[in-house]
Amino acid sequence: MFNDAVAARKHAHAEGLPHPSTAALSKALITAAKCTPERAWLGEVSAVVLQQALADADRAYQNFFASLKGKRAGARMGPPRFKRRVGAQSIRFTRNAKFSVLDNGRLRLPKIGDMRVVWSRELPSAPSSVTVVKTPTGKYYASFVVAVDDGADLLEPLAAPEAETGIDLGLKDFAVLRGGKVIENPKFFRRLERKLGKSQRVLARKAKGSANRAKARIRVAKVHERIKDARSDWVDKQVKTIVAENQGIYVEDLNVKGLSRGGHAKSMHDASFGMFLVRLESKAARAGRTFARVDRFFPSTRLCSLCGVLDGPSGIEGLKVRSWVCGCGAVHDRDQNAEINIRREGRRLVAEGHSDTRNASGQDVRPGRPGRPGNTREGQNEEPTRSGTAQAAPEPGTTVLLRR
Protein backbone atom coordinates (compact mmCIF):
# COMPACT_ATOMS: atom_id res chain seq x y z
CA MET A 1 0.00 0.00 0.00
CA PHE A 2 2.85 2.38 0.82
CA ASN A 3 4.54 1.59 -2.49
CA ASP A 4 1.28 2.06 -4.39
CA ALA A 5 0.91 5.53 -2.88
CA VAL A 6 4.49 6.47 -3.78
CA ALA A 7 4.03 5.11 -7.33
CA ALA A 8 0.81 7.09 -7.81
CA ARG A 9 2.41 10.33 -6.72
CA LYS A 10 5.52 9.73 -8.81
CA HIS A 11 3.29 9.13 -11.83
CA ALA A 12 1.31 12.33 -11.14
CA HIS A 13 4.54 14.33 -10.87
CA ALA A 14 5.92 12.87 -14.12
CA GLU A 15 2.69 13.66 -15.99
CA GLY A 16 2.41 17.17 -14.58
CA LEU A 17 -0.81 16.35 -12.72
CA PRO A 18 -1.83 17.79 -9.35
CA HIS A 19 -0.49 16.08 -6.24
CA PRO A 20 -3.14 13.43 -5.35
CA SER A 21 -4.62 13.74 -1.89
CA THR A 22 -4.73 10.94 0.65
CA ALA A 23 -8.51 10.72 0.29
CA ALA A 24 -8.21 10.24 -3.49
CA LEU A 25 -5.53 7.60 -3.03
CA SER A 26 -7.65 5.80 -0.44
CA LYS A 27 -10.58 5.63 -2.83
CA ALA A 28 -8.45 4.40 -5.74
CA LEU A 29 -5.95 2.15 -4.00
CA ILE A 30 -8.18 0.61 -1.33
CA THR A 31 -11.89 0.87 -2.09
CA ALA A 32 -11.67 0.42 -5.87
CA ALA A 33 -8.71 -1.99 -5.74
CA LYS A 34 -10.63 -4.46 -3.56
CA CYS A 35 -13.12 -4.93 -6.40
CA THR A 36 -10.43 -6.14 -8.81
CA PRO A 37 -9.28 -9.78 -8.99
CA GLU A 38 -5.63 -8.75 -8.61
CA ARG A 39 -6.17 -6.93 -5.30
CA ALA A 40 -9.20 -8.72 -3.87
CA TRP A 41 -7.00 -10.07 -1.08
CA LEU A 42 -6.85 -6.57 0.42
CA GLY A 43 -10.28 -7.28 1.89
CA GLU A 44 -8.79 -9.99 4.10
CA VAL A 45 -7.25 -7.44 6.47
CA SER A 46 -8.62 -4.47 8.38
CA ALA A 47 -9.00 -1.32 6.27
CA VAL A 48 -7.48 0.70 9.13
CA VAL A 49 -3.99 -0.75 8.65
CA LEU A 50 -4.19 0.09 4.93
CA GLN A 51 -5.23 3.66 5.77
CA GLN A 52 -2.30 3.93 8.18
CA ALA A 53 0.12 2.92 5.39
CA LEU A 54 -1.27 5.74 3.24
CA ALA A 55 -0.95 8.12 6.19
CA ASP A 56 2.72 7.13 6.58
CA ALA A 57 3.35 7.84 2.90
CA ASP A 58 1.61 11.21 3.19
CA ARG A 59 3.71 12.10 6.24
CA ALA A 60 6.88 11.16 4.34
CA TYR A 61 5.95 13.57 1.54
CA GLN A 62 5.10 16.33 4.02
CA ASN A 63 8.52 15.95 5.61
CA PHE A 64 10.15 16.02 2.17
CA PHE A 65 8.37 19.24 1.14
CA ALA A 66 9.11 20.85 4.52
CA SER A 67 12.78 19.97 4.08
CA LEU A 68 12.84 21.56 0.62
CA LYS A 69 11.38 24.79 2.03
CA GLY A 70 13.83 24.84 4.92
CA LYS A 71 11.08 24.38 7.51
CA ARG A 72 12.43 21.05 8.77
CA ALA A 73 15.52 20.89 10.95
CA GLY A 74 18.37 18.58 10.10
CA ALA A 75 19.90 17.40 6.86
CA ARG A 76 18.08 17.77 3.54
CA MET A 77 15.63 14.92 2.95
CA GLY A 78 15.00 13.18 -0.33
CA PRO A 79 11.59 12.11 -1.68
CA PRO A 80 10.03 8.88 -0.35
CA ARG A 81 11.34 5.72 -1.99
CA PHE A 82 9.79 2.32 -2.52
CA LYS A 83 10.05 -0.01 0.44
CA ARG A 84 11.87 -3.28 -0.12
CA ARG A 85 10.96 -6.60 1.42
CA VAL A 86 12.82 -6.88 4.71
CA GLY A 87 12.68 -9.18 7.70
CA ALA A 88 10.89 -6.73 9.99
CA GLN A 89 7.21 -5.97 9.30
CA SER A 90 4.58 -3.98 11.20
CA ILE A 91 0.95 -2.91 11.10
CA ARG A 92 -0.82 -0.27 13.18
CA PHE A 93 -4.38 -0.32 14.54
CA THR A 94 -6.04 2.85 15.83
CA ARG A 95 -9.23 3.28 17.83
CA ASN A 96 -11.21 3.26 14.59
CA ALA A 97 -10.24 -0.39 14.16
CA LYS A 98 -11.99 -1.21 17.44
CA PHE A 99 -9.18 -3.31 18.84
CA SER A 100 -9.49 -4.11 22.54
CA VAL A 101 -7.62 -5.58 25.49
CA LEU A 102 -9.88 -8.23 27.04
CA ASP A 103 -10.33 -8.95 30.72
CA ASN A 104 -8.58 -12.31 30.31
CA GLY A 105 -5.41 -10.53 29.12
CA ARG A 106 -5.82 -11.31 25.43
CA LEU A 107 -5.58 -8.77 22.62
CA ARG A 108 -8.47 -8.74 20.16
CA LEU A 109 -7.54 -7.50 16.69
CA PRO A 110 -10.03 -7.02 13.85
CA LYS A 111 -10.09 -9.83 11.25
CA ILE A 112 -7.37 -11.62 13.23
CA GLY A 113 -9.04 -12.65 16.45
CA ASP A 114 -7.99 -12.97 20.08
CA MET A 115 -4.22 -13.08 20.53
CA ARG A 116 -2.51 -14.50 23.60
CA VAL A 117 -0.09 -11.93 25.00
CA VAL A 118 2.80 -12.20 27.46
CA TRP A 119 2.58 -8.79 29.14
CA SER A 120 5.79 -7.02 30.11
CA ARG A 121 3.90 -4.46 32.22
CA GLU A 122 0.40 -3.32 33.04
CA LEU A 123 -1.04 -0.61 30.81
CA PRO A 124 -1.45 2.65 32.80
CA SER A 125 -4.44 3.76 30.69
CA ALA A 126 -6.58 2.74 27.75
CA PRO A 127 -4.38 2.56 24.62
CA SER A 128 -5.08 4.84 21.67
CA SER A 129 -3.29 2.62 19.14
CA VAL A 130 -1.35 -0.61 18.94
CA THR A 131 1.43 -1.54 16.54
CA VAL A 132 2.07 -5.22 15.91
CA VAL A 133 5.68 -5.86 14.92
CA LYS A 134 7.12 -9.04 13.43
CA THR A 135 10.87 -9.38 13.87
CA PRO A 136 13.19 -11.08 11.36
CA THR A 137 13.34 -14.10 13.70
CA GLY A 138 9.57 -14.57 13.56
CA LYS A 139 8.66 -13.07 16.95
CA TYR A 140 5.64 -10.82 17.34
CA TYR A 141 5.45 -7.80 19.64
CA ALA A 142 2.56 -5.46 20.46
CA SER A 143 3.50 -1.85 21.19
CA PHE A 144 0.79 0.37 22.71
CA VAL A 145 0.43 4.14 22.76
CA VAL A 146 -0.93 5.24 26.16
CA ALA A 147 -1.29 8.48 28.13
CA VAL A 148 0.65 8.77 31.41
CA ASP A 149 0.83 11.41 34.12
CA ASP A 150 3.61 13.95 33.73
CA GLY A 151 4.86 13.31 37.25
CA ALA A 152 4.62 9.54 37.17
CA ASP A 153 8.38 9.03 36.76
CA LEU A 154 9.62 11.96 38.87
CA LEU A 155 12.37 11.09 41.34
CA GLU A 156 13.16 12.76 44.64
CA PRO A 157 15.54 15.72 44.12
CA LEU A 158 19.14 15.19 45.26
CA ALA A 159 20.44 18.15 47.24
CA ALA A 160 24.04 16.94 47.65
CA PRO A 161 26.53 19.17 45.77
CA GLU A 162 28.36 16.12 44.43
CA ALA A 163 25.14 14.69 42.94
CA GLU A 164 26.01 15.85 39.45
CA THR A 165 28.36 14.53 36.81
CA GLY A 166 29.82 15.20 33.43
CA ILE A 167 29.99 12.31 30.98
CA ASP A 168 32.95 11.91 28.66
CA LEU A 169 32.22 9.26 26.04
CA GLY A 170 34.93 7.28 24.30
CA LEU A 171 35.81 4.03 22.61
CA LYS A 172 38.46 2.78 25.04
CA ASP A 173 36.06 3.23 27.96
CA PHE A 174 32.41 3.79 27.13
CA ALA A 175 32.08 6.67 29.59
CA VAL A 176 33.96 8.38 32.41
CA LEU A 177 31.88 9.97 35.15
CA ARG A 178 32.60 12.15 38.17
CA GLY A 179 35.29 10.92 40.51
CA GLY A 180 36.94 8.78 37.84
CA LYS A 181 34.08 6.26 37.71
CA VAL A 182 34.48 4.28 34.49
CA ILE A 183 31.82 2.45 32.50
CA GLU A 184 33.60 -0.15 30.42
CA ASN A 185 32.79 -0.57 26.76
CA PRO A 186 30.84 -3.87 26.45
CA LYS A 187 31.51 -4.27 22.69
CA PHE A 188 28.50 -6.50 22.04
CA PHE A 189 29.06 -6.68 18.29
CA ARG A 190 32.78 -7.44 18.62
CA ARG A 191 32.03 -10.34 20.97
CA LEU A 192 29.69 -12.05 18.51
CA GLU A 193 31.39 -10.93 15.30
CA ARG A 194 32.99 -14.33 14.61
CA LYS A 195 29.74 -16.17 15.22
CA LEU A 196 27.89 -13.75 12.98
CA GLY A 197 30.49 -14.13 10.21
CA LYS A 198 30.27 -17.90 10.36
CA SER A 199 26.47 -17.89 10.11
CA GLN A 200 26.63 -15.43 7.21
CA ARG A 201 29.07 -17.66 5.31
CA VAL A 202 26.72 -20.62 5.81
CA LEU A 203 23.85 -18.52 4.46
CA ALA A 204 25.86 -17.49 1.38
CA ARG A 205 26.37 -21.15 0.41
CA LYS A 206 22.68 -22.05 0.45
CA ALA A 207 20.67 -22.13 -2.76
CA LYS A 208 18.32 -19.19 -3.19
CA GLY A 209 14.72 -20.06 -2.53
CA SER A 210 15.52 -23.29 -0.68
CA ALA A 211 14.25 -24.28 2.75
CA ASN A 212 17.81 -24.56 4.04
CA ARG A 213 18.47 -20.95 3.03
CA ALA A 214 15.40 -19.84 4.99
CA LYS A 215 16.72 -21.67 8.07
CA ALA A 216 20.18 -20.15 7.64
CA ARG A 217 18.64 -16.69 7.35
CA ILE A 218 16.88 -17.21 10.67
CA ARG A 219 20.18 -18.16 12.31
CA VAL A 220 21.80 -14.95 11.06
CA ALA A 221 18.81 -12.92 12.26
CA LYS A 222 19.02 -14.50 15.71
CA VAL A 223 22.65 -13.38 16.12
CA HIS A 224 21.72 -9.83 15.14
CA GLU A 225 18.76 -9.91 17.50
CA ARG A 226 20.92 -11.14 20.36
CA ILE A 227 23.37 -8.26 19.82
CA LYS A 228 20.59 -5.69 19.60
CA ASP A 229 18.69 -6.90 22.67
CA ALA A 230 21.84 -7.13 24.81
CA ARG A 231 22.93 -3.61 23.80
CA SER A 232 19.48 -2.10 24.39
CA ASP A 233 19.12 -3.74 27.81
CA TRP A 234 22.61 -2.61 28.84
CA VAL A 235 21.97 0.99 27.75
CA ASP A 236 18.70 1.11 29.71
CA LYS A 237 20.42 -0.12 32.88
CA GLN A 238 23.25 2.42 32.58
CA VAL A 239 20.80 5.27 31.95
CA LYS A 240 18.67 4.28 34.94
CA THR A 241 21.72 4.19 37.24
CA ILE A 242 23.08 7.56 36.08
CA VAL A 243 19.70 9.30 36.43
CA ALA A 244 19.11 7.80 39.87
CA GLU A 245 22.51 8.89 41.24
CA ASN A 246 22.78 12.42 39.78
CA GLN A 247 20.65 15.54 39.91
CA GLY A 248 22.68 17.28 37.18
CA ILE A 249 23.84 15.42 34.06
CA TYR A 250 26.06 17.12 31.49
CA VAL A 251 27.19 15.50 28.24
CA GLU A 252 29.09 16.51 25.15
CA ASP A 253 27.02 17.07 22.02
CA LEU A 254 28.83 14.54 19.84
CA ASN A 255 28.48 14.49 16.06
CA VAL A 256 27.65 10.77 16.11
CA LYS A 257 26.70 10.67 12.44
CA GLY A 258 30.00 12.22 11.37
CA LEU A 259 32.09 10.06 13.69
CA SER A 260 30.39 6.94 12.31
CA ARG A 261 31.89 7.61 8.87
CA GLY A 262 35.57 7.45 9.82
CA GLY A 263 38.04 4.67 10.39
CA HIS A 264 36.40 3.75 13.69
CA ALA A 265 32.92 3.44 12.17
CA LYS A 266 32.38 -0.15 13.30
CA SER A 267 33.36 0.67 16.88
CA MET A 268 31.17 3.80 16.87
CA HIS A 269 28.14 1.84 15.71
CA ASP A 270 28.88 -0.86 18.27
CA ALA A 271 29.04 1.69 21.10
CA SER A 272 25.67 3.27 20.10
CA PHE A 273 26.39 6.70 21.56
CA GLY A 274 23.35 8.13 19.80
CA MET A 275 20.98 5.64 21.46
CA PHE A 276 22.60 6.27 24.83
CA LEU A 277 22.32 10.08 24.64
CA VAL A 278 18.71 10.05 23.40
CA ARG A 279 17.55 7.70 26.13
CA LEU A 280 19.54 9.53 28.80
CA GLU A 281 18.01 12.88 27.86
CA SER A 282 14.50 11.42 27.75
CA LYS A 283 14.85 9.62 31.08
CA ALA A 284 16.37 12.69 32.76
CA ALA A 285 13.47 14.86 31.59
CA ARG A 286 10.87 12.40 32.89
CA ALA A 287 12.68 12.02 36.21
CA GLY A 288 13.00 15.78 36.80
CA ARG A 289 16.80 15.86 36.47
CA THR A 290 18.83 18.67 34.98
CA PHE A 291 20.30 17.75 31.59
CA ALA A 292 22.53 19.89 29.39
CA ARG A 293 24.52 19.31 26.22
CA VAL A 294 27.89 21.02 25.97
CA ASP A 295 28.83 22.36 22.56
CA ARG A 296 30.76 19.79 20.53
CA PHE A 297 33.52 22.31 19.80
CA PHE A 298 34.20 22.95 23.48
CA PRO A 299 37.84 21.79 24.05
CA SER A 300 37.11 19.60 27.05
CA THR A 301 40.12 17.34 26.46
CA ARG A 302 42.75 20.01 25.77
CA LEU A 303 41.66 22.39 28.52
CA CYS A 304 43.50 22.12 31.83
CA SER A 305 40.86 21.72 34.53
CA LEU A 306 43.19 23.31 37.10
CA CYS A 307 44.54 26.46 35.45
CA GLY A 308 42.29 26.72 32.38
CA VAL A 309 45.07 26.84 29.76
CA LEU A 310 44.69 25.07 26.40
CA ASP A 311 47.81 22.99 26.80
CA GLY A 312 46.52 19.46 26.07
CA PRO A 313 47.38 17.22 23.12
CA SER A 314 45.66 17.99 19.82
CA GLY A 315 45.35 16.52 16.34
CA ILE A 316 45.25 12.91 15.26
CA GLU A 317 48.36 12.01 17.23
CA GLY A 318 46.83 13.57 20.31
CA LEU A 319 44.14 10.89 20.36
CA LYS A 320 46.76 8.34 21.40
CA VAL A 321 47.81 10.34 24.45
CA ARG A 322 45.94 9.06 27.51
CA SER A 323 47.62 11.36 30.05
CA TRP A 324 49.46 14.66 29.79
CA VAL A 325 51.24 17.23 31.93
CA CYS A 326 50.14 20.87 31.87
CA GLY A 327 52.56 23.76 32.07
CA CYS A 328 51.28 24.49 35.58
CA GLY A 329 52.55 21.07 36.69
CA ALA A 330 49.20 19.30 36.88
CA VAL A 331 49.12 15.73 35.60
CA HIS A 332 45.83 14.92 33.88
CA ASP A 333 44.16 11.72 32.86
CA ARG A 334 42.68 12.50 29.47
CA ASP A 335 39.12 11.32 30.17
CA GLN A 336 38.87 12.46 33.80
CA ASN A 337 40.06 15.93 32.85
CA ALA A 338 37.46 16.09 30.07
CA GLU A 339 34.70 15.05 32.50
CA ILE A 340 35.58 17.87 34.89
CA ASN A 341 35.52 20.45 32.09
CA ILE A 342 32.24 19.13 30.68
CA ARG A 343 30.65 19.27 34.14
CA ARG A 344 31.77 22.85 34.70
CA GLU A 345 30.65 24.00 31.26
CA GLY A 346 27.30 22.28 31.64
CA ARG A 347 26.81 23.85 35.05
CA ARG A 348 27.56 27.26 33.55
CA LEU A 349 25.07 26.75 30.74
CA VAL A 350 22.37 25.82 33.23
CA ALA A 351 23.15 28.79 35.47
CA GLU A 352 22.88 31.16 32.51
CA GLY A 353 19.72 29.53 31.22
CA HIS A 354 21.17 28.12 28.00
CA SER A 355 20.66 24.42 28.67
CA ASP A 356 17.51 24.18 26.53
CA THR A 357 19.47 24.22 23.29
CA ARG A 358 22.53 22.36 22.10
CA ASN A 359 24.72 25.41 21.55
CA ALA A 360 22.63 28.32 22.88
CA SER A 361 21.08 28.96 19.46
CA GLY A 362 24.24 30.62 18.18
CA GLN A 363 24.25 33.33 20.86
CA ASP A 364 27.46 34.57 22.46
CA VAL A 365 27.29 33.10 25.94
CA ARG A 366 31.03 32.82 26.61
CA PRO A 367 32.50 34.69 29.56
CA GLY A 368 34.38 37.85 28.67
CA ARG A 369 37.72 37.52 26.94
CA PRO A 370 40.70 39.78 27.49
CA GLY A 371 40.13 43.14 25.87
CA ARG A 372 36.33 43.10 25.82
CA PRO A 373 33.61 43.17 28.47
CA GLY A 374 32.39 39.84 29.80
CA ASN A 375 28.91 38.69 30.60
CA THR A 376 29.58 37.01 33.94
CA ARG A 377 27.62 38.24 36.91
CA GLU A 378 29.37 39.98 39.73
CA GLY A 379 30.36 37.57 42.46
CA GLN A 380 29.72 34.52 40.31
CA ASN A 381 32.38 31.81 40.15
CA GLU A 382 34.19 32.03 36.86
CA GLU A 383 35.31 29.07 34.82
CA PRO A 384 37.75 28.25 32.01
CA THR A 385 36.83 29.56 28.57
CA ARG A 386 37.50 28.15 25.12
CA SER A 387 40.06 30.86 24.44
CA GLY A 388 42.39 29.28 27.00
CA THR A 389 42.36 32.17 29.52
CA ALA A 390 42.38 30.90 33.09
CA GLN A 391 39.56 31.89 35.41
CA ALA A 392 38.85 30.82 38.94
CA ALA A 393 37.25 27.38 39.26
CA PRO A 394 34.46 26.72 41.77
CA GLU A 395 35.64 25.88 45.27
CA PRO A 396 35.20 22.23 46.30
CA GLY A 397 31.86 21.71 48.01
CA THR A 398 30.26 24.83 46.53
CA THR A 399 26.49 24.49 46.31
CA VAL A 400 25.20 25.10 42.80
CA LEU A 401 21.49 25.77 42.25
CA LEU A 402 20.14 23.69 39.39
CA ARG A 403 17.00 24.53 37.47
CA ARG A 404 14.57 21.65 37.23
Residues known to be catalytic: 168, 252, 335
Nearest alpha-carbon partner for 91 in 134, 146, 28: 134
Nearest alpha-carbon partner for 253 in 284, 275, 277, 286: 277
User: What is the rounded distance in angstroms from the CA atom of residue 39 to the CA atom of residue 32?
Assistant: 9
Burial of residue 341 (number of CB atoms within 10 Å: 0-12, 13-18, 19+): buried
Nearest alpha-carbon partner for 68 in 80, 52, 56: 80
Please state, in angstroms and as integers, the Cα–Cα distance from residue 271 to each residue in 188, 234, 274, 275, 312, following that order.
8, 11, 9, 9, 25
Measured in whole angstroms, how far is the alpha carbon of residue 400 from the centre of its chain? 29
**20 in helix, strand or coil?**
coil
The helix (H) or strand (E) run that includes residue 181 is: none
Nearest alpha-carbon partner for 221 in 236, 202, 240: 202
CB atoms within 10 A of CB 223: 19
| Residue 154 CB partners (closer than 8 Å, separation 6+) | 286, 287, 288
Phi-psi region of 77 (alpha: psi -120 to 50; beta: other; left: phi over 0): beta
User: What is the rounded distance in angstroms from the CA atom of residue 347 to the CA atom of residue 380?
Assistant: 12
The pairing of beta strand 323-325 with beta strand 182-184: unpaired
Burial of residue 104 (number of CB atoms within 10 Å: 0-12, 13-18, 19+): exposed
